Structure 1
């Protein structure tokens, strides 16, 4: 368009040409040089991530023309493509989501007032339409030039994260830097997927060095292994951006779009077979471990299990699967790690997962082989009582169908914490190897028969005799069956069929609770 042409003189063709040029500039993000740098670091651009996540041609971008209004420190008149964040809605496997994807090629994806407002608008749209919200993080942090306005934007984001909590699923992908206040938005979502190219922390290595004198690299401090293995902040580790979007798609496939819906149902099996291999899973030696993943793989459809927090608190396993097409949340002790004991981290990990499943109408299947809560001074000082109480609270408060299978050990308070009948389990079945007791036979015999053992000529032989007697009497599922704490004792081979039938019969479960604002979960 000639410079002398005024807007009133522009034809429709001129205006369309202008629009196309502006859209081309917006889609060009921070320019080819910065895009190339992003690719050289093994990362996709913000728009490429959106394309990788969404069904083809389903993305409808919103607020692409939004611009900041800052006039300080060289910002006046400076145009930032889409203000550094791509926002809109689209489909994942035909189901709508809303999303925001930060653009590191545009001023490092720094979050300012309008940037955050765009993110919040998508969260509001998720709430209105009952669709999941996905936030792809790749940002250098707050836009410092905007001062308190940038900080206010973070605050509005956190507030709306909380409004969405328990209403629609929220998933965060950490695909680049995510530091300072920015890290709290993902922490308020339901699931965090971090790539190996990303770091996430509140204070960076240089600040830590200044304040505490500790030397640490960004990877050691905020890399995916650190935030999974040590802190438990991250739920999934992805090799790269494409892997992260694939995990996100699979995760969403198990979940309902909102708290008013049931999870999607997959293919159903006309006949439910018997898996004889399960009869050989439990070792004859009660001290010998086995891999609980072998059990999970045989009871879920097609051995398809999406484990959550796989490298954190590995003495307990949580994740999603389907049983005869129905999505379930699985909580299972892992005898291969710490004998499957419940400790502080395992209690926190499972409690949060239980509460997520309950919020989104996902039935809970609990596979039990637990010798108790982890003993030790550090566990007690760390608050194992209040952390363990979270499991009791979470299971008791859950109103979704709750089915427990007791495979082997189920002792003491841990028997209850793994959703015993007394915590509202709708179905409890036991394998014939189940040992349901206040404590293990060795410990119980030492307490109950202390005098008899002390008086015996051969104390070791007497102790073993009494241990065997206690185990024969109490370390079985039959007394629990007699008290109706176990609904059925089944062959391991029948487990999947038992679960499938129980899930079908509980599909219409209703559980009315006292009216209240909310319960107070232990800290």
Structure 2
């Protein structure tokens, strides 16, 4: 796919350009610092407690699992942001989810963060895990679960189960992925109790480290319920599940050996199905991506040309614009990003002059506003992309739909 190369008219010497750039850079620094705080999970003391058990944290496990020269493309780091403060908060909803490469193959990785309330499931934890599963289902991405969870956070258990995007959906997704032939690997690397114990046994491979537990009810609850005394190992330890119940496929001595076993299993997996999407050799945009920072003004009402953004994102800055003279407050068109074909739907943020319906007179249409013609164009373009298996990228900077008699 090739298109017309966009020509930039961005004035890098404008007095507003360095001011806009500094503002965005400062904002990105704030975001980076906040995300680093979130990545600390339950904090230094909780991390030390995890290490004292001979276990790695969720993020340390992921770092050792994926390719050494790569990093996790993390999803949902702001899940549960500033929520559950009365319970001490739940940074990243007590779970780490993202895309990572293991033995060269892309995986969705879902890991409980045991430094946050022992990895317990808050309502937002369930939604975050389900979101990751849905992405894996839609894109047929194999999934690895690194389980270290105390189960449902009991003070909020009434909010964990009731909806279609709540805790029970996790297990439904396990079944759907299995039926679709999407590989699922679970490593039990700590506690896996109560409702959380269902997930591992619905996966294709189950690994378990020494000192971990897999059971519906722990020793204290069993004794309270039926008066039976038992140890965690007797109820659901790694040795019991490896030798007696036969639930566990591989028993490992520690986190490191468990992660190495996962890599060995992945290395022997068959090749994934060929992608249905068009791909070509990637090409860099003609303009530096960092120049985007200088485009955005602190004044929200200030206009800019969205084509300047697109020119700094797409391969070779080439953009095949769809219905360029119609519905101009929405830009639609075909491009490539990293070699992959993409359909782009973007709000135009500068005012445009266009013919009024049924008239030869020109009218002004405001940037960032969706008019009837814009919406109709976008709907047809999205339909065409779906028909031709072209993924979509949406660039949003929108005030909403136009109002008034004509719009209605």
TM tier, shorter chain? 0.5 to 0.7
* Structure-2 residue corresponding to 1:26: 38
CA distance in 2, matches of 1:13, 1:122: 29
* Structure-1 residue corresponding to 2:156: 146
- In the alignment, structure 2 segments of 5+ residues that lack a partner are 1-19, 275-408
TM-score by length of 1: 0.45
Preserved contact between residue 103 and residue 266 of structure 2 (Cα < 8 Å)? no
RMSD (Å) for aligned C-alpha atoms: 2.1
* Structure-2 residue corresponding to 1:251: 265
CA distance in 2, matches of 1:158, 1:84: 19
* Structure-2 residue corresponding to 1:207: 221
Preserved contact between residue 151 and residue 194 of structure 2 (Cα < 8 Å)? yes
* TM-fit CA distance, 1:69: 8.1
- 1:162 equivalenced with 2:175 (yes/no): yes
* TM-fit CA distance, 1:211: 2.9
- 1:180 equivalenced with 2:190 (yes/no): no
> How big is each residue's C-alpha offset from its partner over 1:135-176, in whole Å with a ceiling of 9 and x where there is no partner?
111111101232222234320100100110042111111011
Preserved contact between residue 42 and residue 197 of structure 1 (Cα < 8 Å)? no
In terms of fraction of residues, the more strand-rich structure is: 2
CA distance in 2, matches of 1:245, 1:20: 28
CA distance in 2, matches of 1:163, 1:70: 31
* Structure-1 residue corresponding to 2:128: 118
> How big is each residue's C-alpha offset from its partner over 1:206-250, in whole Å with a ceiling of 9 and x where there is no partner?
222223322111122111011111111111101111111111111
- 1:12 equivalenced with 2:24 (yes/no): yes
SS at match of 2:29: helix
Q: Across the two proteins, how many residue pairs are aligned to each other?
A: 249
1:234-245 to 2 correspondences below 5 Å = 234-245=248-259
CA distance in 1, matches of 2:49, 2:89: 20
Preserved contact between residue 90 and residue 116 of structure 2 (Cα < 8 Å)? yes
* Structure-2 residue corresponding to 1:60: 73
* TM-fit CA distance, 1:55: 0.7
CA distance in 2, matches of 1:80, 1:154: 17
* TM-fit CA distance, 1:71: 6.0
CA distance in 2, matches of 1:36, 1:158: 32
CA distance in 2, matches of 1:221, 1:165: 28
* TM-fit CA distance, 1:83: 0.9
SS at match of 1:226: helix
TM-score by length of 2: 0.58
Preserved contact between residue 193 and residue 234 of structure 1 (Cα < 8 Å)? yes
- 1:219 equivalenced with 2:213 (yes/no): no
- Of the candidates 92, 96, 113, which is equivalent to residue 103 of structure 1? 113
Preserved contact between residue 145 and residue 187 of structure 2 (Cα < 8 Å)? yes
In terms of fraction of residues, the more helix-rich structure is: 1
> How big is each residue's C-alpha offset from its partner over 1:251-292, in whole Å with a ceiling of 9 and x where there is no partner?
11222365x57xxxxxxxxxxxxxxxxxxxxxxxxxxxxxxx
- Of the candidates 46, 71, 76, which is equivalent to residue 58 of structure 2? 46
CA distance in 2, matches of 1:120, 1:97: 15
SS at match of 1:30: coil
Greater relative CO, 1 or 2 (CA 8 Å, sep 6+): 2
* TM-fit CA distance, 1:58: 3.5
Structure 1 or 2, whichever has the larger Rg, is 1
CA distance in 1, matches of 2:65, 2:135: 19
Preserved contact between residue 46 and residue 104 of structure 1 (Cα < 8 Å)? yes
Preserved contact between residue 142 and residue 151 of structure 1 (Cα < 8 Å)? no
Deviates more, 1:104-113 or 1:94-103: 104-113
SS at match of 1:175: strand
CA distance in 2, matches of 1:205, 1:257: 43
- In the alignment, structure 1 segments of 5+ residues that lack a partner are 1-7, 262-523
